[in-house]
Amino acid sequence: MDNTSGLAIWIELLPEPLLVLSGEGTLLALNSGAREFFATRQLTNGHGSQPLLGQSISAWVATPKEQLQKYLSLWRQATQMVPGSLMLRPTGDSPQKIEVEAVGIYFLESRPILVRVRKERQFLQRFIEQRAHFQKMQQQMAQQTALILELEQRKRLLEAENRQLQSLSQRDSLTQLANRRAFEVGLRRAWQEATSSGIPLAVVMLDIDHFKLYNDTYGHLAGDRALQRVAKAIKSQVRDADLVARYGGEEFVVLLRQTHHDVAICVLERIFKYIRGLKIPHATSPVQPYLTLSAGICIATASMTDCPMAALVASADAALYHAKHGGRDRYSIQAYPTAANDCPLPTHNPQSLD
């Protein structure tokens, strides 16, 4: 039995590149997979034509004839697939190596050879290319991730710097207390809080007695140190929820949240006692031989109106003036609002604290 035409029909059904060679190497049949495979490589038989039926394989491969004959003899006698390699001769290019495997077709009398082109090398090359592409994508993703992390870090740094700048904008550089602007913000919030709770708040204005004489006597550097010590002393005697600010020059203001009359008096007497206990020398003071304070307190019950900031500060300042007019080293209390004919409450001189 010798029917290569039937064999050609059979191999046409398979997708992989398949050839049928005679025992001497003549091309007897090839399927569509083989035609496509060789067409993409622009093979030539030396005259510019593609591999055709009836051609010898030696016409379009560059494999030495001795090696090719050894392959043909081995394949013809093989009863299972035997690997080999061929050097194709593409048009205008250097030879290209391909891997094949072949076996003799034993049930045909002429013992033709079935050759399968192994495309694994092509697949491997494609895999290598895809892997390289994937690695490149990974590198790009890693670079993008690093860029995102860097941007997020810069954002956090900018946010921290912004918070620091905001904090600095609301803080007095000398005493490290809140400044006047921060006090005004705090007072508005405390007023809203007092409106909801119905519990009064207190605004306290404090002034260092005869501070100009202190600067004239000890110098401005000593005056700055005295301001820092007084600021620290006041801060140490109030609650964490309360706000202490430098209002300007030697003036300080304290916001006591949710504070009744008796509590405000208690806090202020603690401040006076602490300042007296420091005994900061003030030899030219006509009040005491050490630094003293005067203070004015405004006790206010909040209403649904907007925070009357200027009026609250003015009431505390009026009480402070009353304490100074009464001889200094004392405090005076005033309620808000007061009628036009009302006067501040009596001035308190906490001499018993000595």
Residue 59 is given by DSSP the state G
Among 277, 125, 256, smallest CA distance to 200 is for 256
Among residues 161, 193, 250, 269, which one is catalytic?
A: 250
**DSSP letter for each residue of 152-180:** HHHHHHHHHHHHHHHHHHTB-TTT-SB-H
Residue pointed to by tokens 């110098």? 219
Neighbours of 68 (CB within 10 A): 19
Q: Is 250 one of the annotated active-site residues of the chain?
A: yes
Q: Which two tokens stand for residue 181?
A: 């602007």
Residues in CB range of 140: below 8 A, 6 or more apart: none
Strand segments, DSSP code E, in the chain are 18-21, 27-30, 82-88, 96-104, 113-118, 201-208, 243-248, 251-256, 293-300, 331-336, 347-348
Residue located via tokens 């020398």: 281
CA distances from 176 to 7, 18, 86, 168 (A): 99, 90, 88, 9
| Cβ pair 320, 205 in contact under 8 A | yes
Burial degree of 248 (CB within 10 A; 0-12, 13-18, 19+): exposed
- Known catalytic residues are 250
